């Protein structure tokens, strides 16, 4: 068993730290946020996650805002954010800061693993030079660098940090061997060794770009089929009966979260630096970024059909999370939609049970009162039991295609989905 330091205790780092501790390693967690550290040390879950809640009880994990544990760690794993800036350029500031802080304390013989999502080339071109400079240690002589991208899917009851297969790449054969051996002590799943750090980095960006492109395809179909009068959801369900070579993805109000709407930009920008334009990836990003505008246009059309205008209509947006039943609103399309509706002078209210402080309404019952229209932006379980006959509204826009249109027709409410 090893001494392990995990840097960044968020959606990725905290479940990993709890798992490594459960597996018997001596684990220290490091995070810049004092509030997060004190919550973890007092047994409170800072990310509202079932896996974390279950495993925080009785854990030996100790969290801290200082990096002292790195001095004696055999394995150091970096799990800090890798967002994009306002102009969609990769923002490696948190990663570089973490590498510098770790490298200054790295001991001889240690293994430094990056779990944060990064484009091919980041380890070779940024992490390794920085780590060698700040540590004054020699790569593959005194320490190893590996990349083992995390694939966690928060809120997923079947696939957790414990059973999702991994890929790993390293700076040397010995580094790769140690990395695979380490993960074998904590996860119950296959670990595929990759030929290089770049290959391991590319795997994660490719997985998330694959998803972004497939979602862009169905989002484009949704916009087209709205004009053609075809129900896109029924068509996708029909196509999904083919037992091979089709994978169902569904359209919606937009793509959110810290991964899918972010990671493709890392590859786009890196390849651009080498003179290659990822046209398909850029187009997919652009289509998915249009979906809040499309949802707003669905609302405007429906209100017009009902004899109303968006200006001055009382509109409730249900859901701020980027996906159902998680307290994560990073890159959520709800915020883009809200901005569009505010600019068009709708009288806007919002409600999300996971974000009481960011909602304008205090509870669902009062949120539903005195509204002309509702837009469902997140299909939280709490919203799915709503009955059209109990909604005193003119228009319902279903940004997740989660409801049955017929029930709204029956209640005399104009229903519009995304492509249905
Ligand atoms: N959220 C996901 O579902 C998911 C899934 C797979 C991969 N990833 C990737 O994992 C990485 C982390 O994502 P996350 O969702 O856990 O982020 P997060 O924001 O939930 O957590 C990151 C934590 O790192 C801390 N931090 C920031 N800079 C730091 C520094 N220099 N030193 C120490 N701590 C620092 C922050 O305070 C925060 O608590 C990202 O690269 C992301 O793309 C995320």
pLDDT, tens digit (0-9, with 9 covering 90-100), for 265-279 = 999 999 999 999 999
Rounded Cα–Cα distance for residues 401 and 389 (Å): 18
Given the CA of residue 97, which atom of ligand 1 is nearest to it? 31
Report whether residue 259 contacts ligand 1, using a CB cutoff of 6 Å: yes
pLDDT number for residue 155: 83
Q: What is the mean pLDDT of residues 128-135?
A: 98
Best mutation site among 8, 113, 148, 167 for ligand 1, i.e. most ligand atoms within 8 A of its Cβ?
A: 8
Q: What is the mean pLDDT of residues 221-232?
A: 98
pLDDT higher than threshold 90 for residue 389? no
Report whether residue 171 contacts ligand 1, using a CB cutoff of 6 Å: no
Best mutation site among 29, 36, 80 for ligand 1, i.e. most ligand atoms within 8 A of its Cβ?
A: 80
Q: What is the mean pLDDT of residues 184-188?
A: 97
Rounded to the nearest angstrom, the distance between the alpha carbon of 105 and the centre of ligand 1 is 21
Rounded Cα–Cα distance for residues 36 and 63 (Å): 9
pLDDT number for residue 391: 92
pLDDT higher than threshold 90 for residue 390? no
Write out the two tokens for 94. Answer: 């948190």
Give the mean pLDDT of the chain.
Answer: 97
Provide the pLDDT confidence category of residue 164 given band limits of 50, 70 and 90: very high
Rounded to the nearest angstrom, the distance between the alpha carbon of 262 and the centre of ligand 1 is 13
- Its sign, for the CA torsion 327, 333, 337, 343, is positive
pLDDT number for residue 217: 98
Rounded Cα–Cα distance for residues 263 and 202 (Å): 10
pLDDT number for residue 181: 98
Q: What is the mean pLDDT of residues 56-69?
A: 96
pLDDT number for residue 1: 86
Report whether residue 11 contacts ligand 1, using a CB cutoff of 6 Å: yes
Q: What is the mean pLDDT of residues 10-21?
A: 97
Provide the pLDDT confidence category of residue 208 given band limits of 50, 70 and 90: very high
Rounded Cα–Cα distance for residues 238 and 225 (Å): 15
Report whether residue 25 contacts ligand 1, using a CB cutoff of 6 Å: no
Provide the pLDDT confidence category of residue 406 given band limits of 50, 70 and 90: very high
Rounded Cα–Cα distance for residues 12 and 204 (Å): 14
Please write the tens of the pLDDT for every residue from 66-120.
Answer: 999 999 999 999 999 999 999 999 999 999 999 999 999 999 999 999 999 999 9
pLDDT number for residue 286: 98
Report whether residue 98 contacts ligand 1, using a CB cutoff of 6 Å: yes
Rounded to the nearest angstrom, the distance between the alpha carbon of 52 and the centre of ligand 1 is 15
pLDDT number for residue 154: 84
**What CATH code would you report for 3-195?**
3.40.50.720
pLDDT number for residue 206: 98
Task: Assess contact for 77 and 98: CB atoms under 8 A.
Answer: no
**In the beta sheet, which residues pair with residue 351?**
318
Q: What are phi and psi of 315, to 5 degrees?
A: -115, 130
Q: What percent of the chain lies above the pLDDT cut of 70?
A: 100
Task: Assess contact for 77 and 108: CB atoms under 8 A.
Answer: no
Look up the CATH architecture of domain 197-420: 3-Layer(aba) Sandwich (3.40)
**148: annotated active-site residue:** no
Report whether residue 12 contacts ligand 1, using a CB cutoff of 6 Å: yes
Please write the tens of the pLDDT for every residue from 329-380.
Answer: 999 999 999 999 999 999 999 999 999 999 999 999 999 999 999 999 999 9
Domain with CATH 3.40.50.720 in the chain: 3-195, 197-420
Q: Please count the other Cβ atoms lying within 10 Å of the Cβ belonging to residue 233.
A: 18
Report whether residue 265 contacts ligand 1, using a CB cutoff of 6 Å: no
Single out the catalytic residue among 79, 123, 148, 259: 259
DSSP code string of 50-111: HHHHHHHTT---EEESS-GGGGG-SEEEE-----B-TTS-B--HHHHHHHHHHHTTPPTTEE
Task: Assess contact for 145 and 126: CB atoms under 8 A.
Answer: no
Please write the tens of the pLDDT for every residue from 282-334.
Answer: 999 999 999 999 999 999 999 999 999 999 999 999 999 999 999 999 999 99
Rounded Cα–Cα distance for residues 294 and 287 (Å): 10
């Amino acid at each position: 068993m090893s001494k392990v330091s995990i840097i960044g205790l968020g959606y990725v780092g905290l479940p990993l730290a709890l798992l490594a501790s459960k597996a018997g390693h001596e684990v220290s967690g490091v995070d810049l946020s004092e509030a997060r550290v004190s919550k973890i040390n007092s047994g409170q879950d800072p990310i509202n996650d079932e896996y974390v809640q279950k495993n925080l009880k009785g854990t030996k994990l100790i969290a801290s805002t200082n990096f002292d544990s790195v001095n004696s760690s055999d394995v150091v794993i970096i799990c800090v954010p890798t967002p994009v800036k306002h102009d969609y350029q990769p923002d490696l500031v948190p990663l570089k800061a973490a590498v510098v802080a770790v490298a200054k304390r790295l001991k001889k013989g240690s293994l430094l693993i990056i779990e944060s999502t990064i484009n091919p080339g980041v380890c070779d071109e940024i992490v390794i030079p920085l780590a060698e400079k700040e540590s004054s240690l020699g790569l593959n002589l005194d320490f190893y660098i590996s990349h083992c991208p995390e694939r966690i899917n928060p809120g997923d009851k079947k696939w957790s940090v414990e059973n999702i297969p991994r890929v790993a790449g390293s700076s040397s054969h010995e580094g790769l061997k140690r990395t695979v051996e380490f993960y074998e002590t904590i996860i119950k799943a296959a670990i595929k060794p990759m030929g290089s750090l770049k290959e391991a980095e590319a795997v994660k960006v490719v997985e998330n770009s694959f998803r972004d492109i497939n979602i862009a395809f169905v989002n484009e179909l949704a916009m087209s089929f709205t004009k053609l009068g075809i129900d896109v959801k029924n068509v996708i369900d029909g196509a999904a009966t083919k037992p091979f070579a089709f994978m169902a993805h569904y359209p919606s109000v937009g793509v959110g979260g810290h991964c899918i709407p972010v990671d493709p930009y890392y590859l786009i920008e890196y390849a651009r630096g080498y003179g290659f334009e990822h046209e398909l990836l850029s187009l997919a990003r652009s289509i998915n970024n249009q979906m809040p505008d499309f949802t707003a246009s669905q609302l405007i059309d429906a209100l017009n059909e009902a004899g109303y205008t968006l200006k001055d209509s009382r509109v409730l947006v249900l859901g701020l999370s980027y996906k159902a039943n998680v307290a994560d609103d990073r890159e959520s399309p709800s915020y883009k939609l809200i901005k569009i509706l505010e600019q068009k002078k709708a009288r806007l209210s919002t409600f999300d049970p996971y974000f009481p402080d960011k909602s304008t309404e205090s509870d669902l019952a009062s949120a539903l009162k005195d509204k002309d229209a509702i837009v469902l932006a997140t299909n939280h379980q709490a919203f799915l039991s709503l009955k059209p006959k109990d909604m005193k509204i003119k228009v319902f826009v279903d940004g997740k295609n989660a409801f049955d249109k017929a029930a709204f027709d029956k209640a005399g409410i104009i229903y519009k989905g995304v492509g249905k």
